[in-house]
Amino acid sequence: MRGALLDTHVLVWHLAASPELSPRAVAVMDKSVQAGKPLFVSVVSVLELIYLVEKGRLPKETLERCVSTLSDVDSDIFPVAFDMAMALAARQIPRSEVPDMPDRIIAATALHLGVPLITRDGNIRKSGVETIW
């Protein structure tokens, strides 16, 4: 196990202990943490959460819970900043398959880090990026 990158919805559902998460996703996250392997979240997910709160699609508390977790030095989930190498990795993800820019950025982050992306997103799962669901 190399660790994994969590898609935005996976972070939210994980912190809420939501039954929306697949059993496989939960098992991979648990196994990673037990093995001391990192779980990552792109900072783009934080921006996406801000946007969803502003649109009224998520409560402010969801954003606060995620930011608190990503800011906690004892957390098993680590924020990953977006950089030039990740931007260039997005060229490997067909826009025709993953048209949403935040999704492409998150998928490119997983490619760059060399870890699977835990996501329910069907477009990303069909794009050739290694995913877990």
Closest to 101 in 3D by CA, of 58, 61, 64, 47: 47
Give the chain's count of helices (H) and strands (E).
Answer: 7, 5
Rounded Cα–Cα distance for residues 37 and 16 (Å) = 21
Report whether pLDDT(108) > 80: yes
CATH number of the structural domain spanning residue 21:
3.40.50.1010
- Mind listing the pLDDT tens digit for each residue in 29-78? 999 999 999 999 999 999 999 999 999 999 999 999 999 999 999 999 99
Task: Quote the pLDDT of residue 87.
Answer: 95
Report whether pLDDT(2) > 90: no
Token digits for 40?
């990552």
H or E segment and range at residue 130: none
Residue 118 and residue 28 in contact, taking contact as beta carbons nearer than 8 Å: yes
Rounded Cα–Cα distance for residues 5 and 28 (Å) = 11
Closest to 45 in 3D by CA, of 12, 3, 90, 16: 12
If one counts the domains in the chain, the total is 1
Report whether pLDDT(1) > 80: no
State the average pLDDT for the chain. Answer: 96
Give the residue numbers spanning the domain of 47.
4-132
